Structure 1
Amino acid sequence: MEQREVHLDSRQIRVLAHPLRFRLLGRLRLDGPATATRLAQALGTNTGATSYHLRQLADVGLVLEEERPGSGRERWWRSAHDVSSWQRDAFAGDADATAAADWLEGSWLRALVEQAEAWQRVQGDAPPQWRQAVSFSDVCLDLSAAQLDALNAELAEVIERYRAAGPAPDSRQVVYYFYGMPRVEPS
């Protein structure tokens, strides 16, 4: 990867806020480089639409075409970054970018729920060490905005330390979510 994290600008966030593009970038990050044909098969779409949307992502620097010796006419694509982040407030005054940020956050939350539910369905068949290692909890803390920001930064450092250590011999890909937010009563 050329860069671990990209802080999305208004153009990038508008391009990424599309259901297929969101899924394409996620698949490239999780599974690595692929062709439009392979991505279309994996995501249940057609190759033409997949190619078009990969080019849209490439135009804003979110995916890159990868040279593969002997690949002929096949175009291989890879994610340009490990992480996309944004601050909604960075788009103040840009209604389209703000709407895109809201859509992406909602899509990200739905993906989190889908991932957790998928694990819940198969956990009974998983090896005991994986069932015991997986945990989820909620923690309520009294924090200022500055303290929450510091906590997030510290957790990101811990995660980066594990990423930098590289995979252990018995590794599996793990999706780790953290989302600290002020408590709000549901409406």
Structure 2
Amino acid sequence: MENPSAAREPAREVRIDHRQVRVLAHPLRMRLLGALRIKGPSTATRLAELLGTNTGATSYHLRQLAEVGLVVEDPDLGTGRQRFWRAAHDVTNWEPSDFDDDPDARAAIEWIEGDQVRWFRQHAEHWFAVRHKYSPAWRDSLGMGDIFMTVPPDRLAALTAELWRVLERFHGEADPAEPGAEQVQIYLAAFPMLADMRLADPMSEEDR
């Protein structure tokens, strides 16, 4: 039996290309890929139930994702006419400049990034509504913080890369069977302080 606490293989990553990003920029396809990554392999019928849609829609969009290699069929789980699908990768990577030469792909990645921000807002608002149900330990561990700094782009890129290495190390060491463990989503973001936004932030870590 595999030891769940043993070191895991590195996350399967994909640097999405122009065709993949255009296919992925769709609300249901984003949700399907996310559900397969979080919940594991599933059928179109189960995904339809989970996402509140119909099997015809999930089947169609799963095939669209499969055509560009973002999901794959899992033959080991399928029985007869029942087809199981799984995410082909654990992590999707890109740089905004990857799509500078393709207006359609650039528009698609901008939509995807906007959708991530919309999801973050919904996620945060839902957490604020239910956090009183969690223990003090969880309430003190979860949440947000920020810090201001003045750096050139190469230093910011180095900082981001180092933070990702820390996140990947903790991800690889995570043991779902550990008592009290729950699935969490960690966001990493960096934005410039634009001229019309350079006001003191009362929630800044520097001011606490």
Q: TM-score normalised by the shorter chain: which range applies?
A: over 0.9
Q: Is the 8 A contact 1:8 1:86 kept in 2?
A: yes
Once the two structures are TM-superposed, the CA of residue 71 in structure 1 deviates from its matched residue by 2.7
Report 1:8-157 matches (<5 A). Answer: 8-69=16-77, 71-157=79-165
In structure 2, list runs of 5 or more residues that go unmatched. 1-8, 198-208
Shift of 1:32: 1.2
After superposition, the C-alpha distances for 1:61-113 in whole angstroms (9 at most, x for unaligned) are: 11111123563321111111111121121112211100001000000111111
Q: Among residues 163, 166, 186, which one is paired with 1:176 in the alignment?
A: 186
Tell me the matched-pair count. 186
Runs in 1 of length 4+ with deviation above 3 angstroms?
Answer: none
Amino acid aligned to 1:178: L
Q: 1:169 to 1:72 in 2, by over 3 A?
A: farther
Percentage of identical aligned residues: 49
Shift of 1:169: 3.0
CA-to-partner distance for each residue in 1:122-152, whole Å, 9 max, x for gaps?
1000122111111311211111111111111
- Which moved further from structure 2: 85-94 or 147-156? 85-94
TM-score of the pair, normalised by structure 2: 0.84
> SS where residue 109 of structure 1 aligns?
helix
Are residues 128 and 71 of structure 1, via their aligned partners in 2, closer, same or farther at CA, if it must alter by over 3 Å? farther
State which drifts further: 59-68 or 152-161.
Answer: 59-68
Between the aligned partners of 1:85 and 1:128, the Cα distance in structure 2 is: 35
Counterpart-to-counterpart distance in 2, 1:4 and 1:68: 19
Distance 1:115 1:49, change over 3 A: same
Task: Check the 8 A contact 1:2/1:81 in 2, yes or no.
Answer: no
| Structure 1 gaps, min length 5 | none
